Amino acid sequence: ALKPQHLSIFSHTGTAHFLAISGIHIAMLVALAFWLLRRLILLRTRVVITLLLCFVYLLISGAPVTLLRSLTIAFVLLFGLFLERRGDLLNTVGAAAVLVLALNPIQLFLPGFHLSFVTFTAVAVSYPLFYRLFLQKHRLVLALKGYPPGYEPPLETARRRLHEVVFLSAVASLASAPLLAFHFGSIPLIAVVANAILFPFFYLALAFGFVTLFLFPFGLSCVSGALFSYVSAAIFRLGGALDDVALLLRVPSRLVPPLTLPAVLAFYFAFFLTIMRLRGKFSFLKAPQILCLWIVTGVVWLGLPHLRRLPTPQVRIIRAGSSHTLLIRTPDGFSILYGLRLRREAELHRLVMRLHGLGVDHINALILSVDRPPPSLQTKPHHNLLTEFLRRMRVDVVLIPAAAEDDPWTTIIRIICAQEGVCVCRINAGDSVGRFVRVLGPPKRLFGEVIPRGRRAPLLFVDIAEGVLVGDGRNDAAAAAAILSDTPSADVAFITKPPSKLFLSLLKKTRKVFFVGRPTTVGCLQSTSALLDEAVYP
């Protein structure tokens, strides 16, 4: 497995797609198989053998969703070659998309599906433009120099490949930039240069990797394995140098206006119309009209978020990858964030962009439940996600439950907040955060048993419209104590983690509860529990 610093290098430079078991691996496998079998057997036999190799690789890799999607595209292309029919590339991409959605309709809502097909479509549409701008002139120059048709000197081949890689990298980066900003909240500005430099090395590494994979069962993989390790070391060295440059070109998320869905659709509409016009299509579109189209796209991007009305006071779940954070907006203008369990930098980018998209650039109170070492504190200091969040969002105060005052992770949180100039306070049961949020628990004892310190997370009662209870699913005891009581009377509960069976059994006679994974209705009769008498709050 790769080290975290290597993963961050590829993430910062926009080359993480090389690591994904997806289209690049399938394309390399198909190209390698066709090259090895080009003079041995017929075309149809080559297609069948290549498909068999692809399915073997699918089984070896564990059949991830990204590889299934890429294999579907490759299957459609190879099936056309098997029938010896030359089809349109856009029709092939469309057929592959329909087949992928027919097998799994959920793919329509996944970022990987959007990035795969939008990028592939952009490359397919723009490649004729590359042929028109460069390849035609390149072949004419070779003919004028007296080279026979079909022959190309090695230096000219390298020059053509370099132009092709730079052009396609630029198109792919430009086409994927809005989706990356929309889904993950980041745009690597150095992606075009990094892809052009690392592209040949990655393909060499993939080629040696495939050879090693298929020769390993026969004990003949020593040479190819050594070459693979040398090329991988070169990739890490070059990637580290590019990562240093990427940090200088990094644009903070707060300086980039949030991308809305209409802005993304407007961008792709203008982008594909511009590409088609440069190819000589849509001659009715003139330069001033295309310029006006891009101006409208910019207005939709920059102006639409300011025209939207602010949402009414509410409690809502913000999903950022596997992380779930609760945003509480109260009638007195308070923005409160409950829980910050970030695990990866991409989740941090996405959370910040979602907050900006909701018009939130200022957090009045960040409430942390220190029940165990938070994932955002388990990384190195210079990669600390909590530090990065405090730098990107204005936070007035960080609140920590009093029950966790002696926890060693509380000390780390205090040090981080002191470095960023953020105040840290402790909260007890009965405290208020603003006028509409009251702190409940956590209890030390319930049902006659001592609650472990690791399960003492704070609960909040938000008094807006219907009563809303906010809690942490790991803290079953405190949540049960609060929900089973009539004071406060909570109509809806938002839980950041799926609760245990014990907690669900305690809710059988209470009201409705909304969980993160899917809305769940539990409840019938509302009753007061005498078990609360045994709960002793700190």
The tokens for 359 are: 């018009």
Are 289 and 319 part of one and the same domain?
A: no
Are 208 and 344 part of one and the same domain?
A: no
Q: What is the pLDDT of residue 534?
A: 28
Q: What is the pLDDT of residue 523?
A: 31
Give the list of residues 6+ apart from residue 470 with CB closer than 8 angstroms, or none.
315, 326, 328, 338, 459, 460, 461, 462, 493, 494
Are 233 and 381 part of one and the same domain?
A: no
Domain count, the chain: 3
Which domain-ending residue is among 255, 270, 296? 255
Q: What share of the chain is helix, strand, coil (3-state, %, to 5)?
A: 60, 10, 30
Q: What is the pLDDT of residue 334?
A: 80
Which domain-ending residue is among 255, 277, 299? 255
Are 321 and 298 part of one and the same domain?
A: no
Q: What is the pLDDT of residue 180?
A: 77
The tokens for 196 are: 């052009």
Runs of H (alpha helix) within 421-509:
476-483, 501-506
Residues 231 and 1: beta-carbon distance below 8 Å: no
| Residue span of the structural domain in which 278 resides | 261-307
pTM exceeds 0.75, yes or no? no
Note the maximum CA span of the chain. Answer: 97
The tokens for 407 are: 């926890």
> Taking the CB of residue 380, how many other CB atoms lie within 10 A of it?
8
Query: What are the DSSP calls for 199-251, one per residue?
Result: HHHHHHHHHHHHHHHHHGGGT--HHHHHHHHHHHHHHHHHHHHHHHHHHHT--
Are 407 and 491 part of one and the same domain?
A: yes
- CA distances to 173, 299, 300, 304, 391 from 266, in Å: 17, 10, 8, 12, 31
Long-range CB contacts (within 8 A, 24+) of 461-464: 461/437, 461/488, 461/490, 462/315, 462/328, 462/330, 462/436, 462/437, 463/436, 463/437, 463/438, 463/488, 464/313, 464/314, 464/315, 464/330, 464/331, 464/436
CA 299 – CA 266 distance, rounded (Å): 10
Q: What is the pLDDT of residue 480?
A: 53
- With 0-12 / 13-18 / 19 or more C-beta atoms within 10 angstroms meaning exposed / middle / buried, residue 257 is middle
Are 246 and 395 part of one and the same domain?
A: no
Please state the separation of Cα 429 from the chain's center in Å.
37
Give the list of residues 6+ apart from residue 318 with CB closer than 8 angstroms, or none.
324, 325, 326, 327, 351, 354, 355
Work out whether the CA dihedral 298, 304, 307, 310 comes out positive or negative.
negative
Q: Which residues pair with 325 in a beta bridge?
A: 318
Are 182 and 219 part of one and the same domain?
A: yes
The tokens for 240 are: 């580290």
Residues 299 and 329: beta-carbon distance below 8 Å: no
pLDDT in tens, the chain (538 residues): 566 667 777 777 777 777 777 777 788 788 888 888 877 777 888 888 888 888 888 888 777 767 777 787 788 888 888 887 776 777 778 888 888 888 778 788 777 788 888 888 888 888 888 877 787 787 888 887 778 877 778 888 878 877 887 888 888 888 888 887 777 666 677 777 887 788 788 878 888 887 887 788 777 778 888 888 888 888 888 888 887 777 666 555 445 566 777 888 888 888 888 888 887 787 888 888 888 888 888 887 776 655 544 444 466 667 666 666 778 777 777 888 877 767 777 777 778 877 876 777 788 888 876 545 555 454 444 347 788 888 888 888 888 777 666 667 777 888 888 888 888 887 776 677 776 677 765 555 544 455 555 555 555 656 544 444 555 444 444 555 554 444 444 444 555 455 555 555 555 545 444 333 333 333 322 222 222 222 222 2
Are 265 and 350 part of one and the same domain?
A: no
Residue with tokens 């402790």: 426
Are 182 and 159 part of one and the same domain?
A: yes
Which domain-ending residue is among 246, 272, 307? 307
CA 225 – CA 215 distance, rounded (Å): 10
Q: What is the pLDDT of residue 181?
A: 74
Are 512 and 364 part of one and the same domain?
A: yes
Give the list of residues 6+ apart from residue 519 with CB closer than 8 angstroms, or none.
none
Are 137 and 158 part of one and the same domain?
A: yes
Which CATH number is 320's domain given? 3.60.15
Are 302 and 418 part of one and the same domain?
A: no
